Amino acid sequence: MPNIVVVGAGVSGLTSAYLLSKDGSNTITVVAKHMPGDYDIEYASPWAGANVLPMATKASSRWERQTWPELKRLAEEVPEAGIHKMKSRVYRREKDLEKLRKGEYAFDGLFQENPWYKTLFDDFRELPKDELPAGIASGAEFTSVCINTMLYMPWLVGQCRANGVVFKRGVLKHISEAAAWGHAGGGSKKVDFVINTTGLMASRLGGVMDPDVLPVRGQVVVVRNEAPYMVSKSGTDDADDEVFYVMMRAAGGGTILGGTYQKGQWESQPDPNIALRIMKRAVEMVPELADGKGVQGLDVIRHGVGLRPYRNGGVRLEKERVDGTWVVHNYGHAGWGYQGSYGCAERVVELVAEASNQPKL
Ligand code: FAD
């Protein structure tokens, strides 16, 4: 009867706990400083859009490839999960394509020409020139999903609780403290596995202190206006670290206008100048959003800032022994934590199984 403690209740921790809880022989406790319902700068998951726009390169696409079928199934068959399908457009600017061809493009695999993910989506199509807006060199369209994180995270908590997972609030200074949080045998049983899903805070947690983890600041504006489709663009003229995307959450969750991609910035407060530029870019690219009335036609719900848990070298998904207990790490998902969540959590399940089969030290 493996006794497991998951540290963290963001999308990585909740999905890991959920998949582990499908094996009824596991006893699982989730301990976290922040839980679904909280908004905090140390907690990335509530701030995400969140949609599926593949960011990996072909070589690193495993996590996103494995996640897509499950998010699609949830959108089609499980309305209470708060996910819906929506058309998505990806626009590439010539100047970004030139940088991309030279290997100088700072962002991700999303804007590649002839991308690996064209076979992932059922209806991927390159857009003909007459369907492209001015200033856009090429683009593609496909049906993706958008997750209402405010509904989806509680849904994950519910799935976990239905499988017997116990949730507790707690703040750990050192990862080895997780061994004291198991609930098996009324807390008397030794913890066999700790799953570390602490996101950005893996940079500050004792026993982990990962120097490669840093924030990528994302400022957003959430509006009541409805978007006809989701859209993202390979760059903006405003600043190198300002980006453009629009996505509409399922079930009245509002439309997210983004944004920024500011590496190494911890500032938690929205910058009003950036907010104005985000709104201007949105109504210029998608005038229908505000019925052609421009920024004045936007109805703001809130301004927000989230920090993407970026990691130099990519996500950390591996196991190690810390003070005699197996720790399985699953952190550092930057801007793709939802769209890679099932693939990564499946790897967590595999790592726990591998460690279970190793002789005890
Ligand atoms: P977090 O959500 O940060 O959770 C960390 C958990 O660990 C929290 O519960 C925290 O309290 C807990 N914790 C940390 N330290 C301790 C400690 N010492 N003791 C106890 N508990 C601790 N992803 C997508 O897939 N699609 C998108 O469209 C998308 N858009 C985004 C837009 C923005 C603006 C931002 C900011 C992010 C976006 N992301 C998107 C990325 C996504 O939000 C993250 O990759 C994901 O939320 C990371 O989840 P996590 O569970 O690893 O970390």
127-128-131 Cα angle (round to 5): 80
308 lines ligand 1 (CB under 6 A): yes
Length of the chain in residues, anyone?
Answer: 361
| pLDDT at res. 108 | 75
- The residue whose C-alpha atom lies closest to atom 14 belonging to ligand 1 is 198
Question: Is the pLDDT score of 205 beyond 90?
Answer: yes
Burial of 59 (0-12, 13-18, 19+ CB in 10 A): exposed
Question: How far, in Å, is the centroid of ligand 1 from the Cα of 180?
Answer: 24
pLDDT greater than 70 at residue 49: yes
Query: What CA–CA distance (Å, rounded) separates 231 from 244?
Result: 8
Question: What's the pLDDT band for 275 if we cut at 50, 70, 90?
Answer: very high
Ligand 1: residue whose CA is nearest its atom 6: 8
Whether 358 has a pLDDT exceeding 80, the answer reads no
Instruction: Extract the tokens encoding 16.
Output: 């890991």
Residue 308 CA, closest ligand 1 atom number: 36
Q: Which atom of ligand 1 is nearest to the CA of 202?
A: 15
Region 180-185 average pLDDT: 93
* Gap between the Cα atoms of 8 and 234, Å rounded: 32
11 Cα: distance to centroid of ligand 1 (angstroms) = 7
Q: Which of 7, 219, 247, 338 to mutate to test the pocket of ligand 1 (most atoms within 8 A of CB)?
A: 338
| Measured CA distances, 253 to 45, 83, 147, 227, 242 (Å) | 15, 10, 9, 12, 24
Shortest-distance Cα residue to atom 34 of ligand 1 = 218
CA of 16 from ligand 1 middle (Å) equals: 13
Q: What is the 3-state secondary structure (H, E, C) of the chain?
A: CCEEEEECCCHHHHHHHHHHHCCCCCEEEEEECCCCCCCCCCCCHHHCCCECCCCCCHHHCHHHHHHHHHHHHHHHHCHHHCEEEEEEEEEECHHHHHHHHCCCCCCCHHHCCCCHHHHCCCCCEECCHHHCCCCCCEEEEEEEEEECHHHHHHHHHHHHHHCCCEEEECCCCEHHHHHHCCCHHHHCCCCCEEEECCHHHHHCCECCCCCCEEEEEEEEEEECCCCCCEEEECCCCCCCCEEEEEEECCCCCCEEEEEECEECCCCCCCCHHHHHHHHHHHHHHCHHHHCCCHHHHCCEEEEEEEEEEEECCCCEEEEEEECCEEEEEEECCHHHCCCCHHHHHHHHHHHHHHHHCCCCC
Contacts of 206 by beta carbon, 8 Å cutoff, 6+ apart: 172, 173, 174, 175, 176
Residue 199 Cα to ligand 1 middle (Å): 6
Q: For residue 318, what are its two tokens? A: 């591996």
Which atom of ligand 1 is least distant from the CA of 258? Answer: 34
Q: Looking at the CA of residue 200, tell me the nearest atom of ligand 1.
A: 3
Predicted confidence (pLDDT) at residue 156 exceeds the cutoff of 90: yes
Task: Quote the pLDDT of residue 101.
Answer: 87
Peptide bond before residue 50 is cis, with ω within 30 degrees of 0? yes
pLDDT level of residue 51 (50, 70, 90 thresholds):
very high
Mean pLDDT of 157-173: 98
pLDDT of 28 > 90? The answer is yes
Give residue 282's identity as a one-letter amino acid code: A
Q: What percent of the chain has pLDDT over 70?
A: 99
Burial of 15 by CB count in 10 Å (0-12 exposed, 13-18 middle, 19+ buried)?
A: buried
The Å distance, Cα 216 to ligand 1 centre, comes to: 11
Q: Using the predicted structure, report yes or no on whether residue 105 has a pLDDT greater than 90.
A: no
Closest atom of ligand 1 relative to the 51 alpha carbon: 28
- Is the C-beta atom of 10 inside 6 A of ligand 1? yes
Q: How far is CA 161 from CA 9, 14, 155, 352, in A?
A: 13, 11, 10, 20
Average pLDDT over residues 130-142: 97
Is there an atom of ligand 1 within 6 Å of 145 CB? no
pLDDT tens-place string over residues 293-343? 999 999 999 999 999 999 999 999 999 999 999 999 999 999 999 999 999
Cα of 152 to ligand 1 centre, how many Å? 14
* Average pLDDT of span 49-78: 96
Closest approach atom of ligand 1 to CA 338: 25
- What is the reported pLDDT for 71? 98
Q: Whose CA is nearest to atom 41 of ligand 1?
A: 335
Q: Is 248 in the pocket of ligand 1 (CB under 6 A)?
A: no
Do the interacting molecules here have an ipTM over 0.85?
Answer: yes
178 C-alpha vs ligand 1 centroid, how far in Å? Answer: 19
pLDDT, one tens digit per residue, over 82-104 is 999 999 999 999 999 999 888 88
> How far separated are the first and last CA of the chain, in Å rounded?
18
The mean pLDDT value of the chain amounts to 96
Our mutation pick for probing the ligand 1 site, out of 84, 149, 175, 198, counting the most ligand atoms within 8 A of Cβ, is 198
Residue 361, pLDDT above cutoff 60: no
Instruction: Give the pLDDT of residue 360.
Output: 56
Kindly state the average pLDDT of the residues 24-50.
98
Structure-block tokens of residue 285: 């690219």
Closest ligand 1 atom to Cα of 198: 7
Residue 235 neighbours by CB distance under 10 Å: 21
